[in-house]
Structure 1
Amino acid sequence: MTFEPLIEASLAIQIHFYTVVPAFVLGTVQMVLPKGTVVHRWNGYIYMALMMVTATAAAFIPSFMGRGDALIGGHFGYIHLFVVLTYVTVPLALWSARRGDVRGHRGAMIGLYIGGILIAGGLAFMPGRILHETVFGPV
């Protein structure tokens, strides 16, 4: 394992990485802690803020190195759909919680965690991506 690829990466990639890691940890903790407490609420605010920063940074990361997944002008790829997921889901989850719609809030937050953290995070380990190179070495 070497952090050199991450250290040499663009600022957007570094911001993305350094906000998504604590979001993953906090999101996982949120899944197991009691719901409706002050701790849950504050952890949720921090988690949502981290996810919004993560998504914003991701919007500045170009498509998967030009490997055919570009959607618009070679910059946005299919993985950028998780940016849209986050921009829609975070406000929806907050709005649902403030309305007392526990079911809607739970669904939005679980969807954000599964899509934005687990699926997108899993895709980050694909060969040719910086996280793959950081963890497993060059391809």
Structure 2
Amino acid sequence: MSLAPLDAASLAVQLHAWAAMAAFLLGLAVLFRKKGTLLHKVMGRTWVALMLAVSLSSFWIHELNQFMGFSWIHLLSILVLYSMTMAIIEIRRGNVRAHRIGMLSTFAGALVIAGLFTLMPGRIMHAVVFGG
């Protein structure tokens, strides 16, 4: 494992990767802690801020360039922004179930599944984790 490929990447890629890794770790902590507490709310707001950084920074990453500099992954960023907004609206309405589903879906889709795609050969995180 070497951080050299990430260090050599653009600032947008670095911000995106570090925010995603922090969001993944914080998200795990939020998932396994008691819900509804002040700590849950603080951690959750921090997680949302990290996910905003992950989503928004993706719009300055154009390595896949499938359509005018953008790719299918940018649709995921838009979906993350939408699902987090809806989850926040739902918890403010008191709909805990919809909030939970929205946040879990965002965690699973944007961090776990999309994160696994970053480990494919040829991607920066593959080089970080596996070398090469």
- TM-score normalised by L of structure 1: 0.90
Residue 3 of structure 1: how far off its partner (Å): 1.2
| Cα distance between partner residues in 2 of 1:9 and 1:133 | 12
Q: What are the Cα deviations for residues 106-132 of structure 1, in whole angstroms up to 9, with x where unaligned? A: 110011001111011111101110000
| Cα distance between partner residues in 1 of 2:106 and 2:90 | 14
| Cα distance between partner residues in 2 of 1:44 and 1:53 | 14
1:1-139 counterparts in 2 under 5 A? 1-64=1-64, 70=66, 72-73=67-68, 75-138=69-132
Residue 63 of structure 1: how far off its partner (Å): 4.0
| Cα distance between partner residues in 2 of 1:63 and 1:101 | 39
Q: Which runs of 5+ in 1 are unaligned?
A: none
SS in structure 2 opposite 1:36?
coil
What amino acid is aligned across from residue 22 of structure 2 in structure 1? P
Aligned length: 132
| Cα distance between partner residues in 2 of 1:60 and 1:90 | 20
Does the 8 Å CA contact 1:23/1:47 hold for their aligned counterparts? yes
What amino acid is aligned across from residue 83 of structure 1 in structure 2? S
- Where do 4+ consecutive residues of structure 1 move more than 4 Å? none
Residue 20 of structure 1: how far off its partner (Å): 0.9
| Cα distance between partner residues in 2 of 1:33 and 1:63 | 37
- TM-score normalised by L of structure 2: 0.95
Q: Which runs of 5+ in 2 are unaligned?
A: none
What amino acid is aligned across from residue 21 of structure 2 in structure 1? V
Q: What are the Cα deviations for residues 68-95 of structure 1, in whole angstroms up to 9, with x where unaligned? A: xx1x21x111222220121101111111
Does the 8 Å CA contact 1:85/1:116 hold for their aligned counterparts? no
User: Alignment RMSD, CA only?
Assistant: 1.1
